[in-house]
Every structure is written in structure tokens, then in C-alpha cells.
Amino acid sequence: MVLPPTTHNQPGALGPRSRAEFERAKRITPGGSMRLASYFAPHPPFAARGSGPWITDVDGRHIFDCANNFFSLIHGHAFAPVINALHGILDQGTAYGVPTAHEIELANEIRERSPQLEQVRFVNSGTEAVMFAIKAARGITGRHAIAKFEGAYHGAYDPVEISLDPAPDTWGDHVPASIAYARGSPPSLLHDTLVLPFDNPTSCRQLLQENGARLAAVVLDPLASRVGMVPVGRQLLEVVTDCCRKLGILLVLDEVISYRLGYRGAYEIFELEPDLVALAKIIGGGLPIGAVAGPGRHMAIFDHTNGKPAVAHGGTFSANPLSMVAGLMTLKAYDASAVARLNAMGQRLRATLNEQFLRRGLPAQVTGMGSLFRLHLTRRAIAGYRSCFPSPSQKRALGAIHFSLLERAFLLTPNCSGALSTPMSEQEVEAAGATIVEAVSDVNAKDGWSDQTS
């Protein structure tokens, strides 16, 4: 893998300064990390700075970053147009109790790219975006229950955490069970969140028809990472859109991650007409952001110009000028040619990895779409959450592979998912693919795992 010219990484994944910082962090925050997803045993490296596709940790090690702050940095670290724009407005202030023109400009950029998204309201995270989209759907329909797909992650809002990580002993036989994720979740959430199968259109239709009268929304991520990072099937899409239309259910599309798949986002690729869309990640250029967007007739639920709105929406830092400017510079640089180049590199990476796994006789595969990919330690077809659920030996091996990659100065998310960013070169992506194959091969030779999914 090509490193910056003056870089000489030392052997091993974790240096003494990162270890010391982790010990210091444990004394002041539970678990020693502010985010569950950024912790992995024995501890993560602590970042000092980033540039393009590289992170430099506090020990001076340079790490090739395919996690991109959980897929939010489409242009990598310290993207010059974003940094320059932030320097240009920082001295003017960071947040106000009145609007700025910057929020209009970013909203207009989203609308021009995605004509169906006529109006936009900004929030501060993907979790908030999904939450307000659901609140809007409830207000529009007058119903309170929602439907989501088994295993799908839509942020930390209680209703969409239901059945986030069910195990074989709890997930039910033919119909997915509603399983609480957090201890203390109100029992009412189990009744008000209908869980759907991602890979069974017939069962999905039956469940929607039986529950349609109480459902405000179906929440769908068309390329849900935790459901296997496989594109939603055409037959299931037809079932969902048909049931939503006939039963008066709103389709809420979660494009927090999948917006990067196309210049106009994911809805056009999947030929969908969503009622509301939740956005975040890349639209903030590396700063906190989220958005609810959709046709004006639905977004009017937030209109406060005639008094109390049907659904109130606020947020002290919503549409702060720093996030607005960073997002605008990011989207302007993520034009149609940049999308096409990144998606083509992603397609080649996935094809190369799967070819190498097959050639070496490794029980592994990668799924994904566009610039996104996820590693699975089985050759069986991945069609949804249950078919990608790792066996105990696979789970241990994934952890070992993740750490082995970190030892090789390569970062994926803890479940071995990754994303490409625009500053990556063809040579770097090819080297990344070779590094993944080496890590999988080494762990398989040392420990192995059973080629089963539960």
C-alpha cells in the first residue's frame, strides 16, 4: 500500500500513546469512548489528524481509512474546499438564533440534484432525520405505528431500534418478532413497531396488509449495511410501494448512507417515489448534520408560519452555518463524474475480492453497491439479515480480521464494512483489496471458521 512519502509505520496496530489515551479516557467516560461503534478490543487508535484517505494517529502511524467516519467523509479528511470555506466564515460566528442564507443554498443544492425533494428541513444527525420523518408521517396519517425491516439500523430513536440485532433464539420462526434492543425499552414499542423480512416479499405483503390500518410509515434503507449490504430486491420494492399506496402508508426512505450511491441519491436508482427521505452523513461535509426532505405537500406538516405546526421541529444547532457551508462545498464537488468514478472503483474492488476469495478457496465474500462494501465469512447467498448473521466462529474471525487489517494500517468499521472516498487512487484501492485478501487468508489459515450463517 502506498504511504505518504515520509511515513514509516512501526509494526503492530496500537502504539503506547493510543493505549495511554484510552486508559485516560476510561477514567472520565464509560467504556473509554464516546461512541459504541468507535470502540474495538483491546482499544482503538486515537486520531491526531487526517488528510485525504489517511488518518495519522497519536503514535504517528498512518492508517488508510475506509471507514470515513462511518461513511460520512465522501472526500476524505481535511477536504480543501470545505476547510477553506470554513475558514472563510468562522470569524463571522458559528450559530445564530435567526436563519442564514447558507441554509437556503444547501437546501437548494439538494433540491436541484433530487427534484422530488422539493423542500428540506435540517437537523443535526441521521438519528434526528429519521425521527422527524417518522413524526411527520404520524402527523400526516394520524396513525402511530411504523414498520421497519429486521436488522436494519436507522439511528438511536427508540422505535427504529426494535429488532436491530435479534439472535436466532429470539427472532421468531416464520414472522420476525419485535425484539427490544435497549434495556428498559417501553413494551408499547414492541407493539407499535412491526418488523418485516427483507428477503420474503410474500410474508412482507401479508404483514403489511394485516397491519396497514395502523401503520403511519414503512422505513426502508435500500442498501442496509446490517441487513447484509445487499440491494433491496425488485419484488420486495413492488410489494412495499403497492401496499403503501393502497393502504395509505407513507414510504420513508433512509438515505443517510445510501444517498452517496447516485448523483440524485438512491431513490432514482431504485425507481422509488418516497413520501419522505432522511439524509445525513455526506451532506454535511464532515460536520454534524441531518435533513428531512420530500414533496411540499408532506413537508407542510412542519410549516409554522400560521401558528403552532402540526409537527413541531427545532434544534439549537440545526442549519448552523458551518455545517451548511461544509455540506454545500462537499456536494458541489461530488458531481456526476465523481459519483461514476467512485462507483466504478467500488465495483472493481468487490469483483476483485470475490474473485480472489474464490481462487484461494476462502469461505468469504463481499457484498455492496456503488462505493460501499461489506465482508462476510460465508459463500452462501446473502439475501437479508438472517442469511448474513455470523456464527460464533465467524464473529470471532471477523474481529481477528478487523484487527489484522489495523495491524496492516488499514481501517474498516468493526463489522468489516467499508467505503471508498474520492481522494483514493486506483493504485491505493487495488492495494487495499490485496490487504483485505491477505488478512482474510491469514486469519483463515490460523483459526478458520465454519461456513454457516447461524
In the predicted model, what is the mean pLDDT of residues 382-389? 96
pLDDT at position 65:
98
Is the pTM value of this prediction over 0.85? yes
Claim to verify: residue 302 and residue 327 sit in the same structural domain: yes
314 and 326 in a single domain? The answer is: yes
Residue 453 resides in a domain: no
Q: Are residues 145 and 216 in the same domain?
A: yes
Whether residue 155 has pLDDT greater than 90: yes
pLDDT at 453: 52
Give CA–CA dist 284/262, Å, rounded: 17
Residue 35: pLDDT band with limits 50, 70, 90: confident
Q: Kindly report, residue by residue over 287-297, the tens digit of the pLDDT.
A: 999 999 999 99
Determine which helix (DSSP H) or strand (DSSP E) holds 189, and give its type and residue range: helix 187-192
Looking at the fold, whether 59 and 187 belong to one and the same domain comes out as no
C-alpha cell read off for 300: 407542510
- At 276, give phi and psi (nearest 5°): -145, 150
* Residues 232, 328 share a domain: yes
Query: Helix or strand or coil: residue 416?
Result: coil
Which domain, by its residues, includes 268?
Answer: 80-333
Whose grid coordinates read 481509512?
Answer: 65
Q: Final residue of a domain: which of 313, 333, 353?
A: 333
pLDDT in tens, 85-99: 999 999 999 999 999
Q: Is the pLDDT of residue 77 over 90?
A: yes
393-422 pLDDT, tens digit each:
999 999 999 999 999 999 999 999 999 999
Whether residues 365 and 344 fall in one domain: yes
Question: Which pLDDT score, from 0 to 100, does residue 37 have?
Answer: 80
Residue 240 clears pLDDT 80, i.e. is over it: yes
DSSP per-residue codes, 97-114: SS--HHHHHHHHHHHHH-
DSSP for 219-259 reads: EE-TT-GGGTS-PPPHHHHHHHHHHHHHHT-EEEEE-TTGG
End-to-end alpha carbon distance in the chain: 35
Tell me the CATH number at 265: 3.40.640.10
**Are the CB atoms for 383 and 224 separated by under 8 Å?**
no
Residue from 79, 76, 256, 59 nearest 152 by CA = 256
- Is the domain of 192 the same as that of 322? yes
Q: How far apart are CA 405 and CA 421, in angstroms?
A: 18
Q: Residues 122-141: pLDDT tens digits?
A: 999 999 999 999 999 999 99
Q: How far apart are CA 395 and CA 381, in angstroms?
A: 18
Count: domains in the chain: 2
Q: What is the mean pLDDT of residues 225-234?
A: 97
Task: Please determine, for residue 11, whether its predicted confidence score (pLDDT) is greater than 70.
Answer: no
Share of the chain above pLDDT 90, in %: 89
- 248 in the same domain as 114: yes
- Residue 102 and residue 203 in one domain: yes
Domain end, chosen from 315, 333, 351, is at: 333
Does pLDDT of 324 surpass 80? yes
Q: What does the radius of gyration of the chain's CA atoms come to, in whole angstroms? A: 22
